[in-house]
Amino acid sequence: MDKSKNINFGLWLLYSRTHQLIRKTRAREFDKYGIWGRCAAVVEMAMRMGRNATQAAIVNETNFERNTISEQLSRMERDGIIIRHRDLDRKNAIRIEVTEKGRKIYEDSRNHDSIDSALATLTEDEKLELWRIVSKIREKIIKDLNLKKAIVYPPSDPNEF
Amino acid sequence: MDKSKNINFGLWLLYSRTHQLIRKTRAREFDKYGIWGRCAAVVEMAMRMGRNATQAAIVNETNFERNTISEQLSRMERDGIIIRHRDLDRKNAIRIEVTEKGRKIYEDSRNHDSIDSALATLTEDEKLELWRIVSKIREKIIKDLNLKKAIVYPPSDPNEF
């Protein structure tokens, strides 16, 4: 058996299931504020992008399918978290504005005690090493998938974050 | 600002978005075989657990909510991938049997060229380091969430995989 291939598959299983566990601990934290995870992620992006927050930019950064994001934005608009505007300058662009209610969610979602607790088991060097290794994987996949317009955030250098 | 907290949040964003990218490259690979990702994961677990494959064991290992798994298993049964049996010895247990069609999916999903390609950017030492660091996070969250019955797979020691 090709031992190296074997480790790759195990590493993917480990990575993926740990991701699910972090989501689970994060969901418990969000429950306190009545937030659901992907909504918080979109609000965070839209706030950071400001005037450049468009549906297309959010698709590019999350790497979710366009339909997934579109449905999510519809739901968020219905819930009064965002407003979608057709951009007058660029007719095809859909600009995302975060409402007051959305800003409140943003503030609440900046609390990440669950993440802090999970990562408290690592030394600062281990955190930087994890950042470096995961960034390498990310760069490779962006190349493999030929995602020329992908927004690389957070940056691969943690000092630029 | 608490710089350390800041890095934690960025690390989570990086980890999560890279996970999404790996899922995306994996989905392209699966498309070739007409498989969808979570289905392949459940079949893999059921095959490995053999006679011990129950709905409860799969909930424990994936850390998904019971309802999520239950809906997924219903769909897989409808698609002829698995059969669910009420266990005669333990009346509350629902045992999962993988059909011939499910076994074919299992064989196809063992191909993971997409994962191999993504991880080809890492040295063997970096892979082992990633395994070690992610395992530490996993152990911490299992403790934080008090998941006493969680099935820890893959093992924290890659040599045992």
Does B105 share its domain with B127?
no
Write the pLDDT tens digit of every residue in B72-108.
999 999 999 999 998 777 777 899 999 999 999 888 8
Count the neighbouring beta carbons within 10 Å of the beta carbon of residue B50.
8
CA atoms within 13 A on the CB side of A3: 7
Count the neighbouring beta carbons within 10 Å of the beta carbon of residue B107.
12
A26, A111 in Cβ contact below 8 A? no
Residue A89 distance to chain B (closest CA, Å): 30
Q: So what's the pLDDT on residue A66?
A: 84
Q: So what's the pLDDT on residue A124?
A: 95
Does B133 share its domain with B55?
no
Average pLDDT, chain A: 89
State the pTM of this model: 0.81
Q: So what's the pLDDT on residue B128?
A: 97
Residues of A in contact with B11 (CB under 8 A): 115, 119, 127, 130-131, 158
Considering chain B, what percentage of its residues have pLDDT values greater than 70? 97
Does B109 share its domain with B85?
yes
Per the structure, the count of domains in chain B is 2
Reply yes or no on whether the pLDDT at B29 is more than 60.
yes
| Helix, strand, or coil (residue B1) | coil
Mean pLDDT of B38-42: 86
Reply yes or no on whether the pLDDT at A5 is more than 70.
no
Q: Which amino acid is at A124?
A: E
Nearest to A31, CA basis, from A103, A100, A111 = A111
A123 or A92, higher pLDDT: A123
Q: What is the DSSP letter of B116?
A: H
Does B71 share its domain with B126?
no
Does A28 share its domain with A106?
yes
Does A53 share its domain with A34?
yes
Considering chain A, what percentage of its residues have pLDDT values greater than 70? 97
Backbone angles phi, psi at B110, to 5 degrees: -70, -20
Question: Cβ separation of B19 and A16 shorter than 8 Å?
Answer: yes
Mean pLDDT of B53-57: 91
CA dist., res. A74 & res. B18, Å (int): 25
What six digits make up the tokens of A54? 């468009």
Does B110 share its domain with B132?
no
Does B151 share its domain with B85?
no
Question: Cβ separation of A8 and B112 shorter than 8 Å?
Answer: yes
Q: So what's the pLDDT on residue A97?
A: 95
Q: So what's the pLDDT on residue A1?
A: 44
What six digits make up the tokens of B105? 């999916």
Write the pLDDT tens digit of every residue in B112-159.
899 999 999 999 999 999 999 999 999 999 999 998 877 788 999 999
Does B52 share its domain with B72?
yes
CA dist., res. A55 & res. A155, Å (int): 21
Give the contacts of B118 (CB within 8 A, at least 6 positions apart).
A137, A140, A141, A144, B22, B25
Reply yes or no on whether the pLDDT at B1 is more than 90.
no
Selected for mutation to probe chain A from B23, B64, B130 (highest A CB count within 10 Å) is B130
Reply yes or no on whether the pLDDT at A15 is more than 80.
yes
Does B141 share its domain with B91?
no
A82, A73 in Cβ contact below 8 A? yes
Q: What is the DSSP letter of B92?
A: T
Q: CA-based Rg of chain A, rounded to a whole angstrom?
A: 18
Question: Cβ separation of B126 and A120 shorter than 8 Å?
Answer: no
Reply yes or no on whether the pLDDT at A51 is more than 50.
yes
Q: So what's the pLDDT on residue A156?
A: 95
Mean pLDDT of A32-48: 85
Give me the domain span that covers residue A18: 3-121
Q: Which domain CATH number covers A26?
A: 1.10.10.10
pLDDT-based confidence at A32, cuts 50/70/90? confident
Residue A94 distance to chain B (closest CA, Å): 23
Does B135 share its domain with B116?
no
What six digits make up the tokens of B124? 């063997």
Q: Please give the ipTM for the structure prediction.
A: 0.82
Reply yes or no on whether the pLDDT at B37 is more than 60.
yes
Does B75 share its domain with B109?
yes
